[in-house]
Amino acid sequence: MNSHPLSRRRLLHGIGLGAAALAAAGCESAVGLQERAANAVAIPRPGGTAKLGLTLDLIPKNLFTNTGPAITALIGLVYDTLVRYPARGLEPRPALATEWWPAPDGLGLTLKLREDVRFHTGRTFTSADVEFSLRTYADPKWNGQLRSTAAAITGIDTSRPHEVALRFAHPLSNVFDLLDTVPIIDSETAAGIGTGERFVGTGPFRFVSWRPNTDLRFERNPDYFVPERPYLDEVQARIIPEKSSLLSALKAGQVHFADALSHRDVESAEKYGAITPITLEGAELQIYTGANVTAPPLDDLRIRQAIAHALDRDRIIAEVFRGTGFASSLPWPEDSPAHDPVRAARYVRDLPRARSLVGQHGGPLPVIPLTYVGNDTSQSAVAQIVQSDLAAAGIRVELDPLENSRFTKQLIGGEFRGLWVANHSWAQFSPSTLTVSAYPFNARKNASHFSSPGYTGAATAAWQLPSATGERAGAAYAALSDQLLDSLFLIEIGVYWHRWAHTSALRGIGYRRRRELDLTDAFLA
């Protein structure tokens, strides 16, 4: 038996190995398919599929709140706006509107619209669509952040199909912020937005499908009004909620683009090679410490001033945001018309002064709760540094990490018991937009329970200017900044830039001022 050249065992081994080899030859590699798709185009040219990794899935009813990466990707790909701000400055540029002129009384604006624009359904874009989009945005049920500005548009004349005249209740210094933000939607299919079934705009890509928790798909809009754009045939956005998984997918080249990675992760991915970060300058965010001014000892302005002097802003920007930002006592980015370097440096780390202010308060200080989103690594790190800084000034703080959902509820409900750490946006637009759109800054009602005639007056005066720039505007913004610095219901830490990361396979990625993804000029290389 043993002398037989082909035993039964050897035969079975042979069959097994042969079957494995055949299976290996017959099966294609899933990774290979992905890499071939990326490498198929050796030189920049039209075509291909961009693969995006997004950490948060779509909430269709949040379309107008511009929150979450899936929403900002959807808006950037599918929708256009009437005007577009450049990456820097507040000089609007043509988009769906080609030119515009203000009313002589400062209470109106007329816009001339492009005549060659079609919705993805094939219908021609007209002034009636502008009215529909602005009215929808102003509807409270959509919670658009610039709703108060949209609601101040009292009349919309659409008698000419390619010209629209807006009338305002009062001068609106931030009207171009609104026109840069409101996506122009198709009235005939708007009912499908809330259910996530249809998203029809005039943008470079058409919405194809959405599989909740899985992916979003878009295809090229062949009728896009910009000639020979977009280059890409298709965009696939995968939902990858775990940031570590997203980072792995990016490092493995299985997605071309990743949003919402922490600054440390982007830095690490950059070191790994073949990963390029995009610093979203012009779309700034601000990190701040909020204070409930009705809760002792924060009801004492000296304690809030002590906190402002105790914070090591430079350390936070350097360590948590890896240097992509700058320390500031005010929310304004450097190119904002409200930016003033002297005012921005009013509160710097000065521990003796902080301790002196604490001493002036008299009596022992109670432990102050410091609330933040616990699963946000950046905010957790900031909260810990704040705790350490305040301890050095004699202010004891107890960390209170919360889930995002609970944090948002407490923020809106004004339920914070002491301090909180969060970020905000909107300061990159006209300064008045911050005070009428970002809830923490709202003069009428805010999470700090702060109100003062001076702040309300300054916020209203800045909003009702005829223009966002100029000498008069500068004086109004200075008054607003002084109100923020004097009242300290929000203690700014600094301004920072969000970072995206992409592989070398996808190039030409752009963004708008609210971090909407722009792939009009993107291509696979």
Partner 1 sequence: MLTYVLRRVPSALLVLLLASMLIFLLLRLIPGDPAATLAGPDASPEAVAAIRGELGLDRPVPEQYLDWLGALLTGDLGRSYLIGGRVGDLLADGAANTLVLASASLVLAVALAAVLGPLWAAGRNRWLDRALTGFTTAAVALPPYVTGVLLVLLFGVAARLLPTGGVPPGGLADRPDITVQYLLMPAVCLALPVAAVLTRFFGESLRTELGRDHVTTATAAGIPRHRIVLRHAVRNAVPASVTVLGLQVGNLLGGAVLVEAVFSWPGLGMLVQQGIDRRDYPVVQVLLLLSVAVFVLVQLCTDLVHAGLDPRVRLGSRS
Number of residues in contact with partner 1, rule: CB under 8 A?
Answer: 60
Residue whose pair of structure tokens reads 């001033």 in the numeric block:
305
Spacing of C-alpha 15 from chain mean position: 58
**Least CB distance to partner 1 at residue 268 (A):** 12
Q: Which is nearer to partner 1, 356 or 408 (CB)?
A: 408
Residue 316 Cα distances to 206, 243, 382, 423, 492, angstroms? 41, 22, 6, 13, 12
For partner 1, give the closer residue by CB, 234 or 319. 234
* From 412, 470, 475, 504, residue interacting with partner 1 (rule: CB under 8 A): 412
**Contact by Cβ (8 Å): 182, 137:** yes
Residue length, the chain?
Answer: 525
Q: Which two tokens stand for residue 370?
A: 């410091």
Smallest distance, partner 1 to C-beta of residue 246, A: 8
Residue 433 C-beta: closest distance to partner 1, Å: 11
Distance CA 493, CA 313 (A): 5
For partner 1, the closer CB: 119 or 210? 210
Q: Beta-carbon neighbour count of residue 364 at 10 Å?
A: 9
Q: Which of 127, 442, 481, 487 binds partner 1 (CB under 8 A)?
A: 442
Q: Distance between CA 393 and CA 390 in Å, rounded?
A: 5
Nearest distance, CB of residue 294 and partner 1, angstroms: 16
Would you state the torsion angle of the CA atoms of residues 502, 508, 509, 510, taken in this order, to the nearest 10 degrees?
Answer: 150
47 is an interface residue for partner 1 by CB under 8 A: no
Cβ 126 to partner 1 shortest distance, Å: 28
- Restricted to residues 200-239, the positions that interact with partner 1 (CB under 8 A) are 211-215, 236, 238-239
Q: How far is the CB of 243 from partner 1 (least distance, A)?
A: 11
109-148: contacts with partner 1 (CB under 8 A): 140-141, 143, 145
Q: Are the C-beta atoms of residues 283 and 514 closer than 8 Å to each other?
A: yes
Q: Strand pairing of 49-54 and 234-239? A: parallel
273 binds partner 1 (CB under 8 A): no
Beta bridge partners of 461: none
What DSSP designation does 408 have?
H
Q: Which stretch binds partner 1 (CB under 8 A): 117-125, 128-136, 243-251, 510-518?
A: 243-251
Please say which residue, 8 or 141, places its beta carbon nearer to partner 1.
Answer: 141
CB-nearer residue toward partner 1: 68 or 204: 68
Work out how close the CB of 411 gets to partner 1 at its nearest, in angstroms, rounded to a whole number: 6
Q: Classify strands 419-424 and 368-373 as parallel, antiparallel or unpaired.
A: parallel
Residues 445-474 that bind partner 1 (CB under 8 A): 445
Q: Which residue from 233, 271, 266 is spatially nearest to 524, judged by alpha carbons?
A: 233
Q: What is the 3-state composition of the chain as percent helix, strand, coil, each rounded to the nearest 5?
A: 35, 20, 40
> Least distance to partner 1 from the beta carbon of 426, Å?
8
Question: For the chain, how far is it from start to end, CA to CA, in angstroms?
Answer: 62
Contact residue for partner 1 among 60, 108, 204, 431 (CB under 8 A): 60
Region near partner 1 per CB under 8 A, out of 242-250, 257-265, 308-316, 511-519 = 242-250
Q: Under the criterion CB under 8 A, does residue 97 sit at the interface with partner 1?
A: no
Q: Is 57 in the site for partner 1 (CB under 8 A)?
A: yes
Q: Which of residues 27-46 bind partner 1 (CB under 8 A)?
A: 27-31, 33-35
Using CB under 8 A as the binding rule, whether residue 252 contacts partner 1 is answered as yes
Q: How far is the CB of 137 from partner 1 (least distance, A)?
A: 14
Taking the CA atoms of the chain, what radius of gyration do you get in angstroms?
A: 27
Position 289 contacts partner 1 (CB under 8 A)? no
State which residue, 106 or 192, has the beta carbon closest to partner 1. 192
Q: 393 and 358 in contact (C-beta within 8 Å)?
A: yes
Cβ distance to partner 1 smaller for residue 246 or 330: 246
Please report how close the Cβ of residue 6 comes to partner 1 at its closest, in angstroms.
24
405 binds partner 1 (CB under 8 A): yes
* CA pair distance 276, 504, nearest whole angstrom: 7
Instruction: Measure the CA–CA gap between 93 and 512, rounded to whole angstroms.
Output: 12
Give 383-388's long-range contacts (Cβ < 8 A, gap of 24+).
383/421, 385/312, 385/315, 385/316, 385/319, 385/320, 386/289, 386/311, 386/316, 386/419, 386/421
- Position 69 contacts partner 1 (CB under 8 A): no
- By beta-carbon proximity to partner 1, the closer residue of 222 and 413 is 413
H, E, C per residue of 185-229:
CCHHHHHHCCCCCCCCCCCCEEEEEEECCCEEEEEECCCCCCCCC
String of contacts with partner 1 for each residue 157-196, x by CB under 8 A: -------------------------------------xxx
Compare residues 71 and 164 and give the one whose CB is closer to partner 1: 71
Asked if 374 touches partner 1 (CB under 8 A), the answer is no
Residues at the contact surface with partner 1, assessed by CB under 8 A: 26-31, 33-35, 57-62, 65, 67, 140-141, 143, 145, 194-196, 211-215, 236, 238-242, 244-245, 248-249, 251-254, 403-406, 408-409, 411-414, 422, 426, 437-439, 442, 445
